[in-house]
Structure 1
Amino acid sequence: MRIQDIIEGKREWRAHMARVKALPQDYQIVYKEIQKYLFKVGPAQLTEGAGLLSGIVELFEEGAAFGKGVLEVTGSDVAAFCDDLIKDSKTYADIYQESVGQEVNKAMKKVTDKAK
């Protein structure tokens, strides 16, 4: 990754966070919790491109513009809201499970090859 890419990424992130800070307080609180949740269990490609986080901010901006409370937008189970957003995305847990499976298969192959 080039230095220019890093600088541009930081610039985009700061602009993104400025949008979050412009949201009503209840939206900011829920956004930050969603962000923490997604960083822990979310998709491996969370911040690339326009991305999921930008889409959430757009949804929140629209909800706030219509005078809705944040839980009217997400529902009362915010974790379920997040899980629904990422249901078709590959997560870090998925990647780790695949690597564990591959390592076990390699180890088992070595054992069976030695037994022959």
Structure 2
Amino acid sequence: MGIQDIVEGKKQWRAHVARVKALPPDYQIVYKEMQKYLFKVGPIDLADGRLLPEIVDFFEEGVASGKGVLELIGKDVAAFCDDLIKDTRTYADVYQESISANPGTAEK
């Protein structure tokens, strides 16, 4: 990864953050909670993927149609996020595989 890649990545992230800040306050709160949840349990390719920008796209469409954020995703933010990443490999999957690969061995 060169310097140009880093600079371009920062530009993209700043543009993404600006889009989030343009959302209504209730959408921003839910987005931030989703982001925290996904960074904690989410897919391995979250940083390189399109999931977060696609969530913002979805939210922008909801705002344009006049819907509240909870009308779009429901009351359980974690369940909505889990549904988004259900077919994606997560860090929890990697950890579980590493444990399953060495059954009966314990760290000392």
TM-score (norm: length of structure 1): 0.85
Which residue is equivalent to 2:75?
76
| 1:11-63 CA distance string (max 9 Å, x none) | 100000100000000000000000000000110101214x1001100000000
Report the alpha carbon displacement of residue 100 of structure 1 after superposing the two structures with TM: 2.2
Q: Residue 44 of structure 1 aligns to which amino acid in structure 2?
A: I
Name structure 2 gaps, 5 residues minimum: none
**Structure 1 stretches of at least 4 aligned residues deviating more than 6 Å after TM superposition:** none
Which residue is equivalent to 1:100?
99
Q: Residue 29 of structure 2 aligns to which amino acid in structure 1?
A: I
Name structure 1 gaps, 5 residues minimum: 108-116
RMSD, matched Cα: 1.3
In structure 1, distance between residues paired with 2:11 and 2:102 = 40
Q: How many residues align?
A: 105
| Bigger relative contact order, structure 1 or 2 (CA pairs below 8 A, ≥6 apart) | 2
Q: Residue 42 of structure 1 aligns to which amino acid in structure 2?
A: G
| 1:37-94 CA distance string (max 9 Å, x none) | 0000110101214x10011000000000111100001111111100000000000010
Query: Secondary structure of 2:102's match?
Result: helix
Q: Does 1:14 align with 2:53?
A: no
Which residue is equivalent to 1:112?
none
Q: Residue 22 of structure 2 aligns to which amino acid in structure 1?
A: A
Query: Secondary structure of 2:86's match?
Result: coil
Q: Residue 56 of structure 1 aligns to which amino acid in structure 2?
A: I
In structure 2, distance between residues paired with 1:15 and 1:99 = 37
Which residue is equivalent to 2:58?
59
In structure 2, distance between residues paired with 1:96 and 1:9 = 28
